[in-house]
Structure 1
Amino acid sequence: MESGKEVVRRRRYSREMKEAVLAQCEQPGASVARVAMEHGINANVVHSWRKRTRGGFVARQGGVHEQFVSLALPATMTHPMAYVEVEVQHGATLLKVRWPLEGAADLARWTREVLR
């Protein structure tokens, strides 16, 4: 290490701090950048916390960001042959899944794991 160069260390934030910052970001009209600045945190760090806690998947396609969002589905099925169909494309790879509606919660968990 050259003399005169400062060693940069990563800051660590407690779970409580992260939860408080994320809760502020969810308030109506809140700006992630403004909340981050108020806490002395880089906005990119807060954005990464939000992605991790949502279990979200962000894909860039044609210059537009598309966000995977979990949807609340009815707990009971109205038709015995009801399915949820999901398509995810990454480059030349296309993943198609057809899942029974009554197992929608299992599909959500499976999808989060696949997209990690």
Structure 2
Amino acid sequence: MNEAKKKTRRRYGAELKQQILAQCAEPDASVASIALSHGINANVVHKWRRQTGVPLPSLQAPAFVPVPLPPAAHPPVPDIRIELRRGATSVSVTWPLAAAEQCALWMRELLK
């Protein structure tokens, strides 16, 4: 009968834990890379941080950098174009977009 190997938990000294947690508290520190450099799983280091209440290093939000933009070219505003057909008769109307409300009123009256 094969006996499974019994895994033993690795134990880390308080001094090493303190050193690793201090490195993790530095600005721009990567917990994963620090843990990897010590041969420890990052989840273990995160667990130590939770247990000791060590906060994540505060990452500063990137500063706002204004970017100059070229002036926007405004395309010409299109007109409202309406084409009405009844039998052989066809009527095309062009109405300025700025007067869209008046166009709607005219259409309502026309279609009554």
TM-score by length of 2: 0.45
TM-score by length of 1: 0.44
More strand, by proportion: 1
